[in-house]
Amino acid sequence: MGFFTKNDYKKHDGVYGEAVIETVKKLRMGRIVGTAAIALLVLILLFNSFAIIPTGCTGIRVTCGQISPVTLQAGFTWKIPFFQQIITVNNKQQDMTFGSDSAIWGETQEKVPVFFSNVTVSFSVGTEKSAWIYSNITNYTENLVSAPLVSSALKEASVTFSAEEVTNRTLIEPMAQEKLQAALNAKYGENTVYVYKVVINNMDFEDSYNEAINRRSLAQKEKEAQEIENQTAIAKAEADAKVSVTEAEAKAQQVKISAQADAEAAKIAADAEAYAIEAKAQAEAKANGELAASLTDEVLKNKYYETWDGTLPKVVTGSDGSTLIGIDGIE
Q: Each residue of 45-75: pLDDT tens digit?
A: 677 777 899 999 999 999 998 999 888 998 9
pLDDT for 12 beyond 70: no
Q: Torsions phi, psi of 49, nearest 5?
A: -100, -5
pLDDT at 324: 53
Can you give the pLDDT at residue 330?
46
Higher model confidence: residue 149 or residue 25? 149
Torsions phi, psi for 282 (to 5 deg): -65, -40
Tell me if 29 sits within 8 A of 21, measured CB to CB.
no
Three-state DSSP class for residue 166: coil
Q: Please, which residues have CB within 8 angstroms of residue 249's CB and are 6 or more apart in sequence?
A: none
Residues 6+ apart with CB under 8 A from 52: 75, 76, 77
Q: How confident is the model at residue 227 (pLDDT cuts 50, 70, 90)?
A: confident
Q: Three-state SS for 225?
A: helix
At 196 the pLDDT is 97
Whether pLDDT at 331 is above 50 = no
Answer yes or no: are the C-beta atoms of 147 and 101 closer than 8 Å. Answer: no
Query: Could you tell me how many residues make up the chain?
Result: 331
Please check the confidence at residue 173 and state whether its pLDDT lies above 60. yes
- Phi, psi (rounded to 5 degrees) for 187: -85, -45
pLDDT greater than 80 at residue 21: no
CA dist 223 → 84, 123, 215, 217, 218 (Å): 76, 47, 12, 10, 9
pLDDT of residue 284: 73
Residue 131: the pLDDT is 92
Query: What is the band of 95 on the pLDDT scale with cuts at 50, 70, 90?
Result: very high
Q: What is the mean pLDDT of the chain?
A: 81
Q: Give the mean pLDDT of 248-268.
A: 79
- Higher-pLDDT residue of 310 and 62 is 62
The more confidently predicted of residues 114 and 32 is: 114
How large is the average pLDDT for residues 291-303? 64
| Euclidean distance between CA atoms 201 and 277, whole angstroms | 106
Query: How high is the pLDDT of residue 17?
Result: 61
Of the ranges 96-100, 113-117, 314-318, which one carries the lowest mean pLDDT score?
314-318
